[in-house]
Structure 1
Amino acid sequence: MQEFETLIARHHEVEIMDRSQRKANRGKFQDSQFPTLNQYFAWSEELINSANIDPTDSAGFYWTKNNMAKYADETHTLERVAVDAENQGTKVYYRSSAFWHASAKVNLPAVINTLYSSALNGFDQRCSAYGNCLAVLTEMKFPDATNNLTLEFPEGYDRREM
């Protein structure tokens, strides 16, 4: 546990450095417990110097930097939310506090502890994609209008057929 605390402390040291300080001090952050720690610097420089930034590399960098596994590993308890879509009737989406924390951490960290704050723009749209991903990639059931977990897919989801 002490090694992990040391790693976190060193990460915070790096965050407050400017780019030239990071480059000059890169060896300071590598040790026997974390032999590839300076990979952080190499990836950063590679992204800065690359004309073709691979989105998966960028996503992986921010996943690690923001400790996203902590939020992704929270329990995903789905809540059904019905909204009146002007001239389109009632639309339903599904949200969870775990997905909220992950979205807020990436997009607006200042509201991470203000569950479902309207300051996080587009969260309901993100929830629509989140629900579709859960339906395709997991075996989670979705709550119906009576809050029973009976639905294989989000309410209103049109499954594509081959």
Structure 2
Amino acid sequence: ALLVLISSFVFTTYYPIALSTSLIQFLAVLSIPYPSASLLQTAKNYLYILAGIVYCVQVVAVEALLLGSQRSAQTELDCDCFVEMRQRYLADGSFSLMSEMISMLAYGKHIGLNAGNSGNAHWSLDRKTFYLNSCLIAISRFCKMAQDLLAEAEQMLQELCWIRKEED
């Protein structure tokens, strides 16, 4: 019964108004971080949610079309029906819910890739300090850490290769 209910959301078209479907409205509300917000979430904070929903919708659609409990008894006619329904409701450009979600995902990815992360990482004016997500990383300490790791690795190699066992 639950599969049939969820399938009724998935296997629907929206032409000509995308916001006429309840799942698209739900996705639009998900992009609002909290009720009093006047701005939408940034792409990097919203895309992973949308990608998860797209994946779940695809899994539900496949399960509804090709029931797992009846896979051994499925015929070529069932596969042909699946291909037809996939082209009608799950393909990009089909004026379906999945088409709209794929378009939203592609648009969000485009925005996310072009927005950059200038606020997440930057150098100090003297280039001696690097800031990553507001955390200070002193380059001198970073270099010292790398030098200490190298010295420790050389010491371990020296001990493993040149120190003889007591039995010898």
Give the TM-score normalised by structure 2.
0.23
Greater C-alpha radius of gyration = 2
Q: Which structure is higher in RCO with an 8 Å CA cutoff and minimum separation 6?
A: 2
Larger helix proportion of the pair: 2
Larger strand proportion of the pair: 1
